[in-house]
Amino acid sequence: MENNTHSKAIGYILWIFGFMGAHRFYYGRQITGTIWFFTLGLFFIGWIIDLFLIPSMDRDADQRYTAGRADYTASWILLTFLGIFGIHRFYLEKWITGIIWLLTVGFFGFGLLYDLWTLNGQVSEYNRTKK
């Protein structure tokens, strides 16, 4: 069975906003995602190069993370659009931190930043324990 955890189509959609590092965070490349965020995709040059690197980033993510009940794309969509309310945490059955995020606007924004860095690992851990 193929371990297809991430979507190339979503990767390319996020690439449109990639000068802010969105596609790099999605594929589990937090350090370069942060660099892209602060340098506008390495002054747009790295962003253009990434157009050609997305297939390999997708393959690497598929090999690195565990497929299972929780969907990575759904988790990232929930984090992106509803993260300050902790909806992605409720999706991963993290009820207590979900409530904390809900009541504190994503733990005052710091929890949201933490989740940008760790969401792929959180989903992978959930999928390993909930088979």
Domain ranges of the chain: 8-64, 72-129
Please write the tens of the pLDDT for every residue from 46-90: 999 999 999 999 999 999 999 999 999 999 999 988 999 999 999
Q: Phi-psi region for residue 29, left (φ > 0), alpha (ψ -120 to 50) or beta?
A: beta
Tokens 């506008």 belong to residue: 40
Full-model pTM: 0.89
How far apart, in whole angstroms, are the C-alpha atoms of residue 3 and residue 1?
6
SS (H, E, C) 9-52: HHHHHHHHCHHHCHHHHHCCCHHHHHHHHHHHHHHCHHHHHHHH
Please write the tens of the pLDDT for every residue from 97-121: 999 999 999 999 999 899 999 999 9
Tokens 């930043």 belong to residue: 113
